[in-house]
Amino acid sequence: MARRKSRKKAPARRRSATVNILGIAEGALIANAITQGVFNADLKTFFMSTDGGGSTTSANARAQITLRELISGATGGSYGTSGTSTLSKVGGGSSTISYGQSFSEQIKENLNDNGLRMVGSLIAIPIAFKVGGKLAKKPRALVNKVGKMSGLPVRV
């Protein structure tokens, strides 16, 4: 049999990179579930807190661990989960008390308190986005078509 003439393939066309809004939202929800479960702080508090997640005297703030505290602890400072306080006594003198837990103990307590909810969220969020994506396939396609026609590098 005679050999066919091979046709030169057309060069592959590149698409401009688009941003998938639903992918970003799904990733943010998963990251929030992890920070809530491990560090007892929502994503905003974890990244943006300047005071360790709240008033440093409250028990809730001791249970929260923020990125700022992680960096402080990694560079030789305090993780912000424990501390000491000096109390002045009436009539003179003072006493020092310790409060809070070590970093590892606080992580363990946070996982005991929030771990089940975190695991449930890590399972439910991707399932919800898959089901929601399939249910909203036609409206999403229309929005993506309009976005492509307008030149926006965004997908839904």
- Please identify which residue in the block is written with the tokens 């036609």: 138
- Reported as a single tens digit per residue, the pLDDT across 94-104 is 777 666 778 88
Average pLDDT of the chain?
84
Residues of the chain with pLDDT > 90: what percent? 43
Question: Alpha-carbon dihedral of residues 86, 90, 93, 97, nearest 10 degrees?
Answer: -30
Matching residue, tokens 């807190």 = 49
What does the alpha-carbon distance between residue 94 and residue 71 come to, in Å, rounded to a whole number? 32
Q: Is the pLDDT of residue 69 over 90?
A: no
84 forms bridges with which residues in the sheet?
A: 98
Task: Please give the Cα distance from 14 to 1 (Å, whole number).
Answer: 37
Cα gap 72→88, rounded to integer Å:
29
Please give the model's pTM, rounded to 2 decimal places: 0.74
Supply the pLDDT for residue 24: 95
Give phi and psi for 7, each to the nearest 5.
Answer: -90, 145
